[in-house]
Structure 1
Amino acid sequence: MPIETEAQFTEVYRAHYEDLLRFVRRRAHPMNVDDIVGETFLAAWRRRSELPEDPRPWLFRTARNAMLNANRGMRRRSALVVHIQQSSEPGARHATADMTAEVENRLDLGAAWQELAPADQEVLALHVWEELSARDAAKVLGCTRAAYAMRLTRAKRRLAARLTAGTAVRPALATAR
């Protein structure tokens, strides 16, 4: 069913919007629902000449793929938080460590990470996760090594300030390489 006009696309949109919205609401985080539905219809618009006669299954598959992509992104962000937490601990973990405290520390760090500005997250990610030298990270950000070092120092301070005073977790506050 190639769609050739905006009116035809609007008809498909109206016919399937509610079904797609329900489909996504049952599967995705509430904060992502509108973005996934919008992304799905954007993909449909871009591929309007290739849509099948019954576009409903195609829309559901496209929405499912968008949800999988969103979940992968969330897992990457979570992995980064865990990596930061693990790289910041001096020495090895003891088998008798209090798991409740560890979970609380990770939640505190995760919450503190989410409060950071995206620019601070990027600077810290280049340092901790990507393990780039200050020179290489500066190239990635398009700034001087000195500017990168200053941004990294400030980002570390802001992250440390967001962590509760009683938290045993300390972010990797080593100097920039």
Structure 2
Amino acid sequence: MPIETEAQFTDVYRAHYEDVLRFVRRRAHPMNVDDIVGETFLTAWRRRGELPDDPRPWLFGTARKAMLNSQRGMRRQSALAVRVQRAGEAFGARPQAVDPTAHADDRMDLAAAWQSLAAADQEVLALLVWEHLSAKDAARVLGCSRAAYAMRLTRARRRLAARLGSATAVSPVLAANH
């Protein structure tokens, strides 16, 4: 999908800006979000003739690379800063009861388990749960084969389940095969 006009690029920007912004907000330090998103779309503008038909995974991959570059200057342990307070919603742990605190312990367990995962496991799971990418598109974001992504996802699911105490504690979203 080579982009030849500014109007075409504007359409791509409008269609994907919010997704890229959310993608970066979940992973980068709040002070770096605007710079990373800006750098992502600047790269897209510079390489507009090379954009694929579905630029979303390409934009996520470009944003990921920009984040990795940004993180080199920061502590290595903050490779993936995810807003865990939304984890309960993302993993389908919405309370069914009227009492909003009914599942607080489950959400706290999930948050602790999530934080204990390696950054690479968080990234693999987040591409599935938060970004709703197919295995093929997630593999493109990570720069690996679909098979490699599937293996990483399987291992990350197992590690999360082990931290939660049982495989049944993992949400259906994570258990689904993609």
TM-score range, shorter chain: 0.3 to 0.5
| TM-score for both structures, normalised by structure 1 | 0.48
Structure number with larger C-alpha Rg: 1
